[in-house]
Structure 1
Amino acid sequence: MDPTMSIQTPRRGGVRRFFLAAAALLALAACSDDAPLPVQAPGGAPRMSRASADSTVKRKTIPDQYIVVLDSTVRDVPGFVRGLAKSPKDSVLFVYQYALKGFAARLSAGAVEGLRHNPKIASIIPDEYGTMDQSSQPIWSLDRADQRSLPLNGTFAPNQTGAGVNVYVVDTGIRKTHQEFDGGARVRAGYTSVADGYGTGDCNGHGTHVAATVAGRTYGVAEQATIYPVRISGCNGTVSASAAIAGLDWVRVNHVKPAVVNLSFSWPVRSDIDNAVTSLINAGVVVVTSAGNNNADACSYSPKRVSSIISVGNTDSYDTRAPDSNWGSCVQMFAPGVGIVSAWNGSDTDSRTLTGTSMSSPLVAGIAALYLQNDPTAPVWKVREAVINSSTFGSVADAQGTPNRLAYALPVYLGATVSGPNGIPSAGTYTWEAVTDGGNGSYTYQWTLDNHLWGYTQTLGTGRTQSVYLNPGDGDFTIQVTVTSADQTISSTLYVFNGDTGCGADCTVGTPKVGTSTGAF
């Protein structure tokens, strides 16, 4: 086995032999002019450029385990390590030859002291546990949201972050200083309709949990979105329709686009709530709401029945509808909502596990934010169609007449390029093809030709290919195709040189002669 890949478990007595052999090097080291090598903190780098270390970072040092870096003059690293002990496999964990020269081993204090006097050793650094740039095992709901089918693969890797998108969490307030919100760096001034002295702070916890599910650094889908707390509920979690409408009213007049609202509350059918939400949607705000936890027809509750809203039911880790999740035609899709871990209001590091459609709704609000980052001027209907059409179809068990769609956080972006000749060497019919991928549903096409010499634009056909009869010398032109899928539109343009002999691959023109694409969802 390659020694750089071997991992051995020490056996009793083997480590002692290694230590004794290492300590025996003290006599040799005594003849050296070098001072004993200090054991360095993980952030330091002796005899090399010193790396800066943030003293506020909590390290998880592994007791009695070290990385020993050898001097660059050592050529035979495995041989050097073997020379330190008769049975190095009993204590050596890894031998490094390429990224650096050295080894990792479990060492006692005495062995470390012996190695410090070896002139061939550059540094001895305590080993430590690291962390991934997200939770080492993402919460299952995020893990589920970026794959089409089970089993879970242990990762969450969205292709957007929500940066530049404004999310309005209409709820119980937010603990803005929580580490999930970067200590408040992404939380803006909001609004409260509850006169209890807490302002937009959260004395309940629900709002903090929801906000972090939308846009938390660890628990959220859109980890760089900007968050606005809109507090409509007090410490006991109850909320009046009047307080809710006041909050929605504030959002209506103060929102900054692109904007998404998450509203994880329900009322029996009320036209005032429905109208307030409709007003937001008409103003260009995407509104996502929980379907409710009554195991009933969601059309019996407001604002679920608003036609342009996104209403979300919840599923468990087996893709089964939660027993109490509302259902029916007023629910557009499902998302994970059982056993969801997210931030809590007890401290800046607090978390709690909750279940309900209040947990599934913010996940979809986060997906809407990802979409809007890519297309910040998209109208509500376009965002709604994209989020719904990008979802996974047919995977939810016991959907109870609800559209069988499960939220998906990796939108399938539409791509298109124009393939065909970029020069007209002789009279004849020339054909170009639209090469497409991504998007959702079937494609439609629209071709146009823009003549640069004569200054006219000609609308052509609507097929995947386009043929045009041309004569040389008629003037350079661009041919463009606009491709539309169920949720996206994109255009691709090819510059064509129309000279006497054609341009070929070596043509130099002022406009790109290769296909370029522009567009969005």
Structure 2
Amino acid sequence: MDAPHSPARPRRRALNGVTALVVGTLVAAGLTTPAGANSDHTPSPVGQILGAGGPTVVPESYIVVLRDSAVGGRAGTRQDAVTRLATEVTSRFGVRPDQVWGDALNGFSIRTSEAVARRIAAHPAVAHVEANQTVQPTSTTLSVPWNLDRLDDPLGLDGSYDYQSQGTGVPVYVIDSGILLTHQEFGGQAYFGYNYGGAAVCGPHGTHLAGTIGGTTYGVAKDATLISVKVLDCGTSSTWAGVISGVNWVTGHHQAGTPAVANLALTGSLNTAANMAVTNMIADGVTTAVAAGNSNLNACNYSPSSVPTAITVGATQQNDTRASFSNYGACLDIFAPGISITSASDTSNIATTAISGTSQASAHVAGMAARVLSNNPTWTPAQVASYLNSGSNPVVGNPGTGTPNRLLHMSPLL
């Protein structure tokens, strides 16, 4: 794994989601007790595994959430205690932590059998154990543009994108598949932050979103600072554990009290631990746009689109109707353009491509949030969300049952 660094912001604390990986190599010495060992031969108690079963479950991979009371404080306050307790809990059962968190979530991931995971779930220090599951980006490749024009004109398309603010000084964490930092679209404004593992860039998804958020040609906030937080791999085995690791790193890297935005354009089955981590990242002051998902289903049934404090974004097409694939429902906050969005691609430093999806829609909101924060740097995520909602237009055709009718709009005077 690459060592995280970024000139965009100093680290807030020494321990973060990356250094926690080292902990896993240090606790091996504590593996002294066989799994479930008991001097009186009484069977070890067992607990429940949340999210067990289903096609997206990663075999023998689990997320363990510790009780705040056992750690001695909420996430972000007792990282050393999380490390010690993770070692204590796992060593009793002959396993060791894989990823150890503490900034966005008091918990860790493990690779072990279901039987051992159930025993760990019964440990009094454990809040719950959840099956790790795969996640995926939310885009479909297509071609041709129109989207920026739609953001500043309440009546339709007038052939221009007018703006005052450009997101200057606001870091935007692109939690995705990595960004091609050398692409001409970024003009030196994109930086490496964190890599969960493997190649630094896996496919066009992250680069494309970064271009929509803050690219010089295709970007909503053309002077925002883009930070690559790679959590998706190059195949189909991206997991919630990887996503939580990236969210944990962002929470630790962000300086509380300073403006910041995150774009989390991926989706998976409902995951309590992932939702907790994202909630804590937002509570730390990171305004977060998330994709509603591309299944034409209720966004409340997926993560992270079900996080109440996130800005969950659905996709519209050029005539302002909801895209046929876009998820909907009460958990969705706002719509933004999401059909045939042209932006940067990862195949070369000048490459572009057109992609459709709620990922592309959420990138528009992330860019707009950066613009808002550049003018209002002390605003909380809730204030940013309220501002975007209040400035939206109720013009979305067929938004879906129970869905707020809001299309992203920003005055050209901002």
What secondary structure sits across from 1:227 in the alignment?
strand
User: 1:396: which partner in 2?
Assistant: 396
Check whether the contact 2:145–2:354 (CA below 8 A) recurs between aligned residues: no
Q: Residues 175-228 of structure 1: CA distance to partner in whole angstroms, max 9, x if unpaired?
A: 00001101xx1122300112x2x2xx3231100001111001111100000010
Which residues of 2 match residues 83-122 of structure 1 at below 5 A?
Answer: none
User: 1:303: which partner in 2?
Assistant: 304
* 2:159 pairs with 1:154: yes
User: 2:281: which partner in 1?
Assistant: 280
Which residues of 2 match residues 203-242 of structure 1 at below 5 A?
Answer: 203-236=202-235, 238-242=237-241
Q: How many residues align?
A: 268
Check whether the contact 2:312–2:362 (CA below 8 A) recurs between aligned residues: yes
Which residues of 2 match residues 38-117 of structure 1 at below 5 A?
Answer: none
Query: How far did 1:158 drift?
Result: 1.6
User: 1:142: which partner in 2?
Assistant: 148
> Residues 203 and 403 (structure 1 numbering): CA distance in 2 closer, same or farther, change over 3 Å?
same
User: 2:196: which partner in 1?
Assistant: 193
State the one-letter code of the partner of 2:173: Y
For structure 1, which runs of at least 5 residues remain unmatched after alignment? 1-137, 414-521
What secondary structure sits across from 2:314 in the alignment?
strand
Q: Residues 64-116 of structure 1: CA distance to partner in whole angstroms, max 9, x if unpaired?
A: xxxxxxxxxxxxxxxxxxxxxxxxxxxxxxxxxxxxxxxxxxxxxxxxxxxxx
Q: Distance in 2 between matches of 1:302 and 1:242?
A: 13
Query: How far did 1:301 drift?
Result: 0.5
Q: Distance in 2 between matches of 1:347 and 1:398?
A: 38
Identity of aligned residues (%): 40
User: 2:253: which partner in 1?
Assistant: 254
Check whether the contact 1:172–1:237 (CA below 8 A) recurs between aligned residues: no
Q: Residues 267-309 of structure 1: CA distance to partner in whole angstroms, max 9, x if unpaired?
A: 1111111000000011011010000000000000011111111
Q: Distance in 1 between matches of 2:164 and 2:236?
A: 35
User: 1:268: which partner in 2?
Assistant: 269
Q: Distance in 1 between matches of 2:173 and 2:247?
A: 10
Q: Distance in 1 between matches of 2:236 and 2:373?
A: 30
What secondary structure sits across from 2:384 in the alignment?
helix
Please give the TM-score of this superposition, normalised by the length of structure 1: 0.50
User: 1:176: which partner in 2?
Assistant: 181
> Residues 328 and 411 (structure 1 numbering): CA distance in 2 closer, same or farther, change over 3 Å?
farther
What secondary structure sits across from 1:392 in the alignment?
coil
User: 2:353: which partner in 1?
Assistant: 352
For structure 2, which runs of at least 5 residues remain unmatched after alignment? 1-143
What secondary structure sits across from 2:209 in the alignment?
helix
Check whether the contact 1:204–1:237 (CA below 8 A) recurs between aligned residues: no
Check whether the contact 1:312–1:335 (CA below 8 A) recurs between aligned residues: yes
* 2:297 pairs with 1:292: no
Q: Distance in 2 between matches of 1:305 and 1:411?
A: 31
Q: Distance in 2 between matches of 1:170 and 1:209?
A: 12
Check whether the contact 1:314–1:356 (CA below 8 A) recurs between aligned residues: yes
Check whether the contact 1:292–1:313 (CA below 8 A) recurs between aligned residues: yes
Q: Residues 118-154 of structure 1: CA distance to partner in whole angstroms, max 9, x if unpaired?
A: xxxxxxxxxxxxxxxxxxxx9411011111022x111
Q: Distance in 2 between matches of 1:411 and 1:349?
A: 28
Greater strand proportion: 1
What secondary structure sits across from 1:262 in the alignment?
strand
Check whether the contact 2:261–2:369 (CA below 8 A) recurs between aligned residues: yes
Structure of higher CA gyration radius: 1
Q: Distance in 2 between matches of 1:411 and 1:388?
A: 16
Q: Distance in 2 between matches of 1:275 and 1:235?
A: 26
Check whether the contact 1:390–1:411 (CA below 8 A) recurs between aligned residues: no
Q: Distance in 2 between matches of 1:363 and 1:287?
A: 12
Greater helix proportion: 2
Q: Distance in 1 between matches of 2:145 and 2:167?
A: 19
Query: How far did 1:346 drift?
Result: 0.4
Check whether the contact 1:371–1:411 (CA below 8 A) recurs between aligned residues: no
Check whether the contact 2:300–2:331 (CA below 8 A) recurs between aligned residues: yes
Q: Residues 456-508 of structure 1: CA distance to partner in whole angstroms, max 9, x if unpaired?
A: xxxxxxxxxxxxxxxxxxxxxxxxxxxxxxxxxxxxxxxxxxxxxxxxxxxxx
Query: How far did 1:412 drift?
Result: 7.1
Greater relative CO (CA pairs within 8 A, separation 6+)? 2
What secondary structure sits across from 1:207 in the alignment?
helix
State the one-letter code of the partner of 2:396: V
Please give the TM-score of this superposition, normalised by the length of structure 2: 0.63
State the one-letter code of the partner of 2:146: W
Query: How far did 1:238 drift?
Result: 4.8
User: 2:373: which partner in 1?
Assistant: 372
What secondary structure sits across from 1:342 in the alignment?
strand
Which residues of 2 match residues 467-478 of structure 1 at below 5 A?
Answer: none
Q: CA RMSD in A?
A: 1.4
* 2:168 pairs with 1:163: yes
Q: Residues 385-407 of structure 1: CA distance to partner in whole angstroms, max 9, x if unpaired?
A: 011111112x1111113111101
